[in-house]
Amino acid sequence: MLSKLKEFFARVFKSRKPLLEYNGDLTSPNGRIVCRLTLKKGQVYYSVLRDGKNLVRDSRLGMNLRGDEPLYNGLMLVRSLNKSFDETWETKWGEAHYIQNKYNETVLYLSETGGKRRLFTLRFRAFDDGVAFRYEIPPQPEFQNLVVADELTEFNVDFNGYAWHIPAFQPDRYEYNYERSPVYELQHSVHTPLTIETPVGYAISIHEAALYNYGSMTLKLNQNNALMADITPLSDGAKAYVELPFNTPWRVIMIGDSPLDLTTNHMILNLNDPPKEDFDWVKPLKFMGIWWAMYVGEYTWAEGERHGATTKHTEEYIDACERLGIPGLLVEGWNNGWNGDWLQNGPTNDFIHPSKDFDLKEVAKYASSKGIELVGHHETVGYIDNYEKQIEEAYKEYADNGIHYVKPGYAGAWMSIQGRREFHHSQAGVLHYQRALELAAKYHIMLDVHEPIKGTGIERTWPNLLTREGARGQEYEGGALYPSHATILPFTRLLSGGMDYTSGIFDVTNNVKRMATTIAKQLAYYVTIFSGMQMAADRPRFYEEVNPAAFKFIQDVPVSWERTLPLLGHIGQYYVVARQERGTENWFIGGVTNEDEHRVRVNLDFLPQGSVYQAEIYRDGENAHYRENQLAIAIETRKVGKMDYLDILMAPGGGFAVALKKIQ
């Protein structure tokens, strides 16, 4: 192996005349984006322009290594290659049925001029809606593995831009409220996607794709006031231990003419590989849950008088799913480990044995006799050592009982891995989430991961990863969620993939977890927040008895889409989107606003010429308000066509949902 490598490198150097200086422009297929690549004084830089305007100025690339020389200076260019690619691929499920993956690529093969003459490659892609690049390091005679001390990648954006950010390295992982501030005010590391409204009018979002075997990227300002990668460290401070060959995740700069334009950017999925198996068993799901009853204190996760996950309650919920036409049911608190303080029980939580009052086999049999899919639940509290001892048997037990969906949770401030405290988002965490996902695939299990690693598009390769939480969801209602939150997510968190927001709470006025929304806004979420698994999160009686007319929308709305058309939006203020149901000609529209009332005119010109649709409109009723009058909802039906528009007033903290069913 080694002698072969040596021969290879000798050949490369003999046949090429390395360049000490280089300037090259990589242009997007439509010519609007230029990624300018420069090698000067032994270092490589890139910059990005859109329509001739500078979005990212000269930004340094490279990494510091532990126990080895840094890999960023004293470089020469051995060879460069260009190629173009254009392919349209079919998704298994998602926001669009078909996605075009079209880009131009430049690959720079670099070598150090002295020392060990180590080699590495930089692969750049320019899409019509952004730029991506990654480091690729081949194995070399004197370079077989490495320890990344720091990745030096810069994203030197104009620091006058306004960034929407949540803090990194905090105990509640990604579950924070977004703040908006000029880039130059970013004091601490922030998570990606980091969406920035640039001073020249475009919107960009910096993120990563295909995160495997590496710490996840956060961003911080460096001494030059440039944003720079700040890779989540392991407990010993290293950012990643890797063996060569190794490719870093893609570093991605999504670019839109406006924030709304970003919301259909598919670069993150496109930068991932197609699946290696057929995954035909994967199916998106709508589900209810023995869940919200615990949040409002009606049930408990722990055993006892008010235990939620009993055989009896589960069978009642299964009956309700059948009556209401909701094909799935999540059951939390079914296993041993919830009694007492469950957050403290993490090290000993039992994922295999049910509590005395829960008969897994019987419940599974009952669900299957009614055609209802059970969604199993594993709350690890981040104790990975304990979980990994049981995970395969636990998945197998579920699979043997015909349970194909699992919601894992990692609700701890840390992960405990090999006895060490690690960040969820460190290389150790990333490796665990990946092991769990691949094992789930082996047992044909689909996942809804709570407290997950952020989305980096790997669901293209692993479509059984149907959704994640990974931001503040409705469990934070009752004081910690603002009406604006749902108008920020589509432009930030949701650029990384779908989210389980646990929508559809109709008991909005409850005293324990009072929602900061109107009831119409709860319906809007099914369209504004994409998720491969959508929860109808309230208790069945609120759907059957309290508001069956509004519940009809949750029954009708699909989980997977043919096409997505963002219509109107302003980060933090309002957002309106239309989506076509996959495989039909029906359309659904959702709109949400912040604490201010907002009136929108929704043109229906996306409907096909000559067709007639029945519009079922669910909007805030008269004087609706997220604090004073949450329940006021108006439901109306009328015939519409391509030339029509809807004039809708969203109440403070409100929203609307529309089902457009083709009748002719």
Q: Which does 409 bind (CB under 5 to 8 A by kind): Ca ion, ligand NOJ, none?
A: ligand NOJ
Q: Which does 313 bind (CB under 5 to 8 A by kind): Ca ion, ligand NOJ, none?
A: none
Give the C-alpha distances (Å, rounded to integers) separating 441 from 392, 446, 459, 534. 11, 7, 12, 20
Give the C-alpha distances (Å, rounded to integers) separating 560 from 210, 228, 275, 493, 635. 22, 36, 18, 19, 24
Which of 271, 411, 602, 650 touches ligand NOJ by CB under 6 A?
Answer: 411
For 376, the enclosing helix (H) or strand (E) is strand 373-379
Which tokens is 52 given? 């001739």
- Cβ proximity to ligand NOJ: between 129 and 332 the closer is 332
- Cβ proximity to ligand NOJ: between 413 and 634 the closer is 413
475 catalytic residue (yes or no): yes
- Cβ proximity to ligand NOJ: between 197 and 475 the closer is 475
Q: Does 450 bind ligand NOJ (CB under 6 A)?
A: yes
CB of 93 closer than 8 Å to CB of 531:
no
List Cβ neighbours of 146 (8 Å cut-off, separation of 6 or more): 65, 68, 137, 241, 242, 244, 246
Size, binding site for ligand NOJ by CB under 6 A: 7
- Cβ proximity to ligand NOJ: between 130 and 408 the closer is 408
Q: How far is the CB of 379 from ligand NOJ (least distance, A)?
A: 4
Site mask for ligand NOJ (CB under 6 A), range 359-398, x = bound: --------------------x-------------------
CB of 493 closer than 8 Å to CB of 261:
no
Which tokens is 167 given? 């803090």
Is residue 208 packed enough to be buried (19+ CB in 10 Å), middle (13-18) or exposed (0-12)?
buried
CB of 95 closer than 8 Å to CB of 213:
no
Q: How far is the CB of 377 from ligand NOJ (least distance, A)?
A: 7
Q: Does 475 bind ligand NOJ (CB under 6 A)?
A: yes
- Neighbouring CB atoms inside 10 A of 172's CB total 13
The amino acid present at 548, given as its one-letter code, is: P
CB of 410 closer than 8 Å to CB of 450:
yes
- Select from 438, 291, 467 the least CA-distant residue to 377: 291
Q: Which does 332 bind (CB under 5 to 8 A by kind): Ca ion, ligand NOJ, none?
A: ligand NOJ
Beta strands at 415-417 and 405-409: parallel, antiparallel or unpaired: unpaired
Q: Does 112 bind ligand NOJ (CB under 6 A)?
A: no
Cα maximum dimension of the chain: 80
Q: Which does 379 bind (CB under 5 to 8 A by kind): Ca ion, ligand NOJ, none?
A: ligand NOJ
Which of 158, 230, 332, 397 touches ligand NOJ by CB under 6 A?
Answer: 332
Q: Which does 616 bind (CB under 5 to 8 A by kind): ligand NOJ, Ca ion, none?
A: none
Q: Which does 134 bind (CB under 5 to 8 A by kind): Ca ion, ligand NOJ, none?
A: none
Which of 397, 469, 538, 616 touches ligand NOJ by CB under 6 A?
Answer: 469
Segment 419 to 458, residues that bind Ca ion, using CB under 5 A = 450
- Give me the catalytic one of 303, 475, 477, 616: 475
Q: How far is the CB of 524 from Ca ion (least distance, A)?
A: 21
Binding site for Ca ion (CB under 5 A): 450
Binding site for ligand NOJ (CB under 6 A): 332, 379, 409, 411, 450, 469, 475
Q: Show which residues are catalytic.
A: 475
